[in-house]
Amino acid sequence: MPEGNDAKKKLEGLGQDIVSDIRAGKNPTFVTLARKRSNIIFDQKTGYLKLGRAKEERDFVNVAQSKRFMQTVAIAAKCHKFVKENLHTTIRGLFYQLKYSLGEDVDENIFNEQAESNPLIEDLEVALSLTREQLNLNANRKGVLAGNLKIIDTFGNERIQIDCSKQGRSGWAIPSDVDNDIEFVDLKAKYAIVVEKDALWQRLNEDGFWKKENAILITPQGQAARGTRRLIRKLADMGLPIYVFTDSDAWGWYIYWTIKTGSINLAHIGENVATPEARFIGVTMSDLDRYDFLNKLTMNASDVDLKRAQEMLRYDWIKKSREWVTELERMIKLKKKLEQDALQGPRLTFVDDYIKEKIRNKEYLP
């Protein structure tokens, strides 16, 4: 997977195929996997969302498709340029380049809205088995890491070493692309813990949790961005158990399941961003039995929380898990939720002990 960048070669191959087709008097086409809902599959065996086998052909000599075909070729040409220049931008930057350069020769604006160009970028990713990052298109980034791990970031003609154990209160900001021109070395940790909220990450970082536990401490700062999801996958590939710690509510579960199973939007790169091995350590409704004080610190579950819990109970992979069914049913019954922050109730450092105990006792949900 996306180590190294063969994007240039693949993009040139696409161009050559089109030229050959035209020269041979054939109708140029290219084939991509369908990304409609019906072709997005939860793979029971591997445990993540991926694309099925349904294909779609983009056909130049087809009135309904020729604009789309031409737009895709324009995107491919721009990305080829970015890769050759060794410069990165975003899908917004790409959109403006397309608007700019096509506007020069053609009267009509070929792209009016970014919503038009985004799906075509995915077409290209899928057709050529490339990721957006290999096309030099950065995604939004978010997320921070601390722990015994070094980063070798080859960036701007420099080879920079960043020691993630020497980032103080800040942590290392996880970039959009954690595959190309970047290496992870000297990993010395027993596990990685992913903490939903930055506030709790800061709490744990201040306590030196990752030092004492020899862990990699990550926060996605809410829903995990693409780069953070990919990084978690890579840490799992490097042999680390992955534990996830979120609020016990709809949003927290969503964050967990996205890390674990991937998402519909990224089903075309499911394998690269999903971490089915991840385990959920809390906060759980069953913590109410073990930690009596939490009963005073519940919050009212919102309608969204309750609706989401009910939806989750209908999922096949949830139905198989007695623990998750118990969790969700309990929330629905109590109409209460629990926040990570509540673990600071008795003392600020309580959250450290909570996580340690959960991991030591292997008390986590699948």
Which amino acid, one-letter code, is at 255?
I
Q: Does 231 bind its own copies (CB under 8 A)?
A: no
Reduce the DSSP state of residue 315 to 3 states and report it: coil
Binding piece for its own copies, criterion CB under 8 A, among 33-41, 124-132, 241-249, 290-298: 290-298
Tokens representing 214?
């020899």
Considering the complex, state which of residue 16 and residue 86 has its C-beta at the smaller distance from its own copies: 86
Q: Which residues pair with 50 in a beta bridge?
A: 41
Which amino acid, one-letter code, is at 337?
K
Binding piece for its own copies, criterion CB under 8 A, among 44-52, 134-142, 275-283, 304-312: 134-142
Residues 6+ apart with CB under 8 A from 342: 283, 294, 297, 298
Residues 6+ apart with CB under 8 A from 155: 181
Cα separation, 146 vs 156, whole angstroms: 24
Considering the complex, state which of residue 90 and residue 129 has its C-beta at the smaller distance from its own copies: 90
Q: Does 291 bind its own copies (CB under 8 A)?
A: no
Q: Does 119 bind its own copies (CB under 8 A)?
A: no
Cα separation, 5 vs 97, whole angstroms: 22
Minimum distance of its own copies from residue 140's CB (angstroms): 7
Q: Does 203 bind its own copies (CB under 8 A)?
A: yes
Q: Does 65 bind its own copies (CB under 8 A)?
A: no
Decide if 249 contacts 283 (C-beta within 8 A). Answer: no
Binding piece for its own copies, criterion CB under 8 A, among 48-56, 79-87, 248-256, 316-324: 79-87
Q: Does 46 bind its own copies (CB under 8 A)?
A: no
Considering the complex, state which of residue 126 and residue 204 has its C-beta at the smaller distance from its own copies: 204
Residue from the set 66, 77, 99, 129 that interacts with its own copies by CB under 8 A: 99
Query: For its own copies, how many residues bind (rule: CB under 8 A)?
Result: 60
Half-sphere exposure in the Cβ direction for 59 (13 Å, CA): 9
Closest by Cα among 196, 33, 195 to 125: 33
Q: Does 226 bind its own copies (CB under 8 A)?
A: no
Pairing type for strands 89-90 and 242-245 reads: unpaired
Decide if 276 contacts 313 (C-beta within 8 A). Answer: no
Q: Does 223 bind its own copies (CB under 8 A)?
A: no
Minimum distance of its own copies from residue 181's CB (angstroms): 8
Closest by Cα among 188, 217, 214 to 205: 217
- Is 100 a known active-site residue? no
Binding piece for its own copies, criterion CB under 8 A, among 34-42, 60-68, 117-125, 292-300: 292-300
Closest by Cα among 167, 222, 213, 164 to 192: 213
Q: Does 287 bind its own copies (CB under 8 A)?
A: no
- Spell out, one character per residue from 148 to 187, where the chain touches its own copies: x when CB under 8 A holds, - when not: ---x-x-xx-x-x-x---xxxxxxxxxxxx----x-----
Q: Does 77 bind its own copies (CB under 8 A)?
A: no
Q: Does 199 bind its own copies (CB under 8 A)?
A: yes
Cα separation, 306 vs 335, whole angstroms: 7
Considering the complex, state which of residue 32 and residue 205 has its C-beta at the smaller distance from its own copies: 205
Q: What share of the chain is helix, strand, coil (3-state, %, to 5)?
A: 45, 20, 35
In terms of DSSP H, where are the helices of 107-197?
Answer: 114-128
- Spell out, one character per residue from 136 to 155, where the chain touches its own copies: x when CB under 8 A holds, - when not: --x-xx--x------x-x-x
Half-sphere exposure in the Cβ direction for 103 (13 Å, CA): 9
Q: Annotated catalytic residue: which of 48, 96, 291, 354?
A: 96
Q: Does 214 bind its own copies (CB under 8 A)?
A: no
Closest by Cα among 128, 85, 129, 94 to 272: 129
**DSSP secondary structure code for residue 52 in this structure:** -
Considering the complex, state which of residue 119 and residue 346 has its C-beta at the smaller distance from its own copies: 346
Catalytically annotated residues? 96
Give the binding site for its own copies (CB under 8 A).
82, 85, 87-90, 92-93, 95-97, 99-101, 103, 109, 138, 140-141, 144, 151, 153, 155-156, 158, 160, 162, 166-177, 182, 198-199, 202-203, 205-208, 211, 293, 296-297, 339, 341-342, 344-346, 348-349
